[in-house]
Amino acid sequence: MDIQEARLKIEELTELLTKYEYEYYVLDNPSVPDAEYDKKMNELKEIEANFPELITADSPTQRVGVTPRETFTKVEHLVPMLSLDNAFNEDNLRSFHRRVVQQVGEDVTYICELKIDGLAISLIYEDGKFVRGATRGDGTIGEDITLNLRTIRSLPLTIKERGRIEVRGEAFMPQASFLKLNEQRKADEQSLFANPRNAAAGSLRQLDPRIAASRNLDLFLYGYGEWQGPELATHSEHLTYMQEQGFKVNPHWKACSTIEEVIDYVSYWTTERPNLAYDIDGIVIKVDNLAQQEALGFTARNPRWAIAHKFPAQEAITILHDVELSVGRTGVITPTAILEPVLVDGSTVQRATLHNEDFIREHDFRLGDTVVIQKAGDIIPKVMRVVEEKRTGEEQEIHMPTHCPACDSELVRIDDEVALRCINPNCPAQLVEGLIHFVSRNAMNIDGLGEKVVEQLFNESLVKTFADLYRLTQEQLVELERMGEKSANNLLNAIQASKQNSLERLLFGLGIRHIGAKAARILAMRFESIEALQKATYEDLVSIDEIGDKMAESVIQFFAEEKVIALVDDLQQLGVNMVYTGPKQATEKIESPFAGKTIVLTGKMEIYTRPEAKQLIEELGGSVTGSVSKKTDIVIAGEAAGSKYDKAVQLGITIWDETDLRNALEEIENE
């Protein structure tokens, strides 16, 4: 074959394979068997191997780039990526409709779409080619994740449109891929992802695109940003246009000409939702006509022409058989309900959190009770309430222990905390949890050191302190159950490699109270070495924007302890890096969605207690106040939020629900 023939053949195969991929991944309707696709793909690979100079970026063989990146570059969204106001019930939807009608008159059509529970993304095409994919970030500045997005097979690398266009949508992980991924991770003793959304986010944040490629991600497009395509008059025309260009648009969107129809659509999907192959967390309602959208305009952060109806979390009924007590890293005793296994939201639930003793007393849970459990996107669901009608009188009271289930020392309650705590610094359960935290993904990130192995190492007295990890030998490791030569070797390499980690990982891993991954990074960037941080005064610490007084006090207290000083010394002797080697502050300023913001909490909270939510927000630089005014930036509304919610709507203030809060907090933790 000469180069001329090769060029033609490559063109022909590229076109054919692109068509097959479109049919398979976008339309879900392949026209040829998989073997035929594989055959053509191999043919193309072979020709490209002989004529590497003919390989183009949009060749189907080039979805996965070869060189991993060092960091993600920041990109600017010329048209900001906004978020939506939330509605939680019919009333909220009707008041949205009233406001729309007031502004643009009765003649309104709404487009209802599924609210995909994934990650907002932006894709830019120029001259028919996919040139840039980015995360939303803070709405104005996102991260360039082009290489990872390219690996999503339903994303077209080329389109017919030649003008520069930006389409926006949601990248997500289908439930089946999520379950499979977590099964694999469990087998490999890696930490599990809490839900498909986190798994998708984690996959797209990988610097090595081969990882994203292996994760079976998918996407749906539902909007646009920059636009040099044809001028269209409605949102639905945009959806159709995107579909024609080969983009994957969710097929379940519907035009509704009355609010009643909208409400019907919402209630239809509230029941149908478990039958989808991917998670949705609500319905998005958009005014169809773009001229009307323009007339309605925006508040500071949200369009006035759209609203998201959030679904309540999925619930199920089951029996509370037993209560298991566990001791956390900080000594907090957490009761976990052991339940009759029940299917919720596509997975079997047999454990659920009971938070603390007060929670058990308040709800009067007893062993043998029929209870309602709820899954709100976490691995561990919550027990919500008792079904009183099912009481037989046989139920047994739950007794909280007076002594630590692990070390038998007396439990205490500190100040106004609701939690019971074991304050024995040598409590084995706490030490093990501390070690598990130290090696975890966001801390020292030691691959192959799962919970089971840590427990074994601890029980065999091979590892008692973080430093002991760095003294382990091949001989010691192979003695462990289920540990072969090869895994022992890999583990030692991983431990060795972790010595090079930049300081923030060590700081986070040390488990300083109130210092999460984000705060650890801020401290590491600011002080650059552990030595400098150890010398920092309270004033030095609180002078940093994002560091509050609780954090500062905790850092001071931590480094004043003899044991800590000895440990840091020990780690240093063993060759663990103690300086910051990450990107420079100027390019990597961490944004907190709460910094400098005024936030109001209202309604019944389920995921966090009020004081917890308040503390978390304050740690991230936000202030929490009691009443809604023009100065309020975000209202976080729990269930049955009343007048404060209405006022926020009236003033056009961004309204979040608790899952938005949790998602925002998790995103920061994951950074």
Binding-site positions for Zn(2+) read 404, 407, 422, 427
User: Which lies closer to ligand IVH via its Cβ, residue 442 or residue 659?
Assistant: 659
- Non-local (6+) Cβ contacts of 247 within 8 A are 26, 156, 159, 167, 169, 221
The distance of closest approach from Cβ of residue 250 to ligand IVH in the complex, given in angstroms and rounded to an integer, is 7
Q: Does 10 bind ligand IVH (CB under 6 A)?
A: no
Q: Does 223 bind ligand IVH (CB under 6 A)?
A: yes
* DSSP alpha helix (H) spans, 51-138: 90-104
User: Which lies closer to ligand IVH via its Cβ, residue 84 or residue 641?
Assistant: 84
The distance of closest approach from Cβ of residue 501 to ligand IVH in the complex, given in angstroms and rounded to an integer, is 32
Q: Does 115 bind ligand IVH (CB under 6 A)?
A: yes
- Non-local (6+) Cβ contacts of 415 within 8 A are none
Nearest 5 degrees, angle CA 240-CA 243-CA 249?
100
Q: Does 217 bind ligand IVH (CB under 6 A)?
A: no
Q: Does 149 bind ligand IVH (CB under 6 A)?
A: no
Which strands, in side-by-side order, build the sheet including 119-126?
129-135, 119-126, 165-172, 218-227
What sign for the dihedral angle of Cα 9, 14, 19, 24?
positive
For residue 262 the two structure tokens come to: 């909208």
| Run of H or E including 640 | none
For residue 309 the two structure tokens come to: 């109806």
Phi-psi region of 575 (alpha: psi -120 to 50; beta: other; left: phi over 0): left
The distance of closest approach from Cβ of residue 593 to ligand IVH in the complex, given in angstroms and rounded to an integer, is 12
Rounded Cα gap, residues 347 and 349, in angstroms: 6
| Run of H or E including 311 | none
What sign for the dihedral angle of Cα 656, 657, 663, 669?
positive
Angle between helices 451-459 and 428-439 (to 10 degrees): 140
Q: Does 222 bind ligand IVH (CB under 6 A)?
A: yes
The distance of closest approach from Cβ of residue 253 to ligand IVH in the complex, given in angstroms and rounded to an integer, is 8
Considering only residues 150 to 189 of the shown chain, the ones binding ligand IVH according to CB under 6 A are: 170
The distance of closest approach from Cβ of residue 585 to ligand IVH in the complex, given in angstroms and rounded to an integer, is 28
Q: Does 84 bind ligand IVH (CB under 6 A)?
A: yes
Instruction: Please state the residue numbers annotated as binding site for NAD(+).
Output: 34-38, 83-84, 113, 136, 170, 286, 310
Q: Does 116 bind ligand IVH (CB under 6 A)?
A: yes
The distance of closest approach from Cβ of residue 223 to ligand IVH in the complex, given in angstroms and rounded to an integer, is 5
Instruction: Please state the residue numbers annotated as binding site.
Output: 34-38, 83-84, 113, 136, 170, 286, 310, 404, 407, 422, 427
Instruction: Give the interface segment with ligand IVH, choosing from 115-123, 157-165, 338-346, 482-490 (CB under 6 A).
Output: 115-123
User: Which lies closer to ligand IVH via its Cβ, residue 68 or residue 297?
Assistant: 297
The distance of closest approach from Cβ of residue 78 to ligand IVH in the complex, given in angstroms and rounded to an integer, is 15
User: Which lies closer to ligand IVH via its Cβ, residue 128 or residue 174?
Assistant: 174
Print the SS3 string covering 208-239.
CHHHHHCCCCEEEEEEEEEECCCCCCEHHHHH
Q: Which one of 65, 128, 303, 652 is in contact with ligand IVH (CB under 6 A)? A: 303
Instruction: Give the interface segment with ligand IVH, choosing from 109-117, 188-196, 259-267, 593-601 (CB under 6 A).
Output: 109-117
Q: Does 664 bind ligand IVH (CB under 6 A)?
A: no
Residue count, binding to ligand IVH (CB under 6 A): 14
User: Which lies closer to ligand IVH via its Cβ, residue 63 or residue 77?
Assistant: 77
Instruction: Give the interface segment with ligand IVH, choosing from 108-116, 395-403, 454-462, 628-636 (CB under 6 A).
Output: 108-116
Interstrand relation of 370-375 and 420-422 (parallel, antiparallel or unpaired): unpaired
User: Which lies closer to ligand IVH via its Cβ, residue 17 or residue 221?
Assistant: 221
The residues annotated as belonging to the active site are: 115
Q: How many CB atoms lie within 10 A of CB 199?
A: 24
Q: Does 13 bind ligand IVH (CB under 6 A)?
A: no
Instruction: Give the interface segment with ligand IVH, choosing from 32-40, 78-86, 124-132, 587-595 (CB under 6 A).
Output: 78-86
Type of residue numbered 399: H
Type of residue numbered 384: M
Closest alpha carbon to 647 in 663, 662, 626, 661: 626
- Non-local (6+) Cβ contacts of 358 within 8 A are 418
Q: Does 196 bind ligand IVH (CB under 6 A)?
A: no
Angle between helices 90-104 and 259-272 (to 10 degrees): 150
For residue 631 the two structure tokens come to: 């100065």
Rounded Cα gap, residues 504 and 521, in angstroms: 5
User: Which lies closer to ligand IVH via its Cβ, residue 85 or residue 161?
Assistant: 85
Print the SS3 string covering 379-441.
CCCEEEEECHHHCCCCCEECCCCCECCCCCCEEEECCCCCCEEECCCCCHHHHHHHHHHHHCC
Q: Does 306 bind ligand IVH (CB under 6 A)?
A: yes
Instruction: Give the interface segment with ligand IVH, choosing from 69-77, 80-88, 427-435, 622-630 (CB under 6 A).
Output: 80-88
The distance of closest approach from Cβ of residue 80 to ligand IVH in the complex, given in angstroms and rounded to an integer, is 9
Query: Could you give the 3-state DSSP secondary structure of residue 608?
Result: coil
Q: Does 96 bind ligand IVH (CB under 6 A)?
A: no
Q: Which one of 167, 212, 308, 635 is in contact with ligand IVH (CB under 6 A)? A: 308
The distance of closest approach from Cβ of residue 219 to ligand IVH in the complex, given in angstroms and rounded to an integer, is 11
User: Which lies closer to ligand IVH via its Cβ, residue 24 or residue 227?
Assistant: 227
Q: Does 143 bind ligand IVH (CB under 6 A)?
A: no
Q: Does 307 bind ligand IVH (CB under 6 A)?
A: no
Q: Are 637 and 657 in contact (CB under 8 A)?
A: yes
Q: Are 458 and 429 in contact (CB under 8 A)?
A: no
Q: Does 266 bind ligand IVH (CB under 6 A)?
A: no
Closest alpha carbon to 266 in 317, 297, 221, 307: 307
Q: Does 284 bind ligand IVH (CB under 6 A)?
A: yes
The distance of closest approach from Cβ of residue 595 to ligand IVH in the complex, given in angstroms and rounded to an integer, is 20
Q: Which one of 82, 149, 488, 624 is in contact with ligand IVH (CB under 6 A)? A: 82
Q: Which one of 113, 218, 433, 546 is in contact with ligand IVH (CB under 6 A)? A: 113
348: β partners? 343
Instruction: Give the interface segment with ligand IVH, choosing from 76-84, 181-189, 500-508, 649-657 (CB under 6 A).
Output: 76-84
Interstrand relation of 86-87 and 306-310 (parallel, antiparallel or unpaired): parallel
Q: Does 83 bind ligand IVH (CB under 6 A)?
A: yes
Binding site for ligand IVH (CB under 6 A): 82-84, 113, 115-116, 120, 170, 222-223, 284, 303, 306, 308
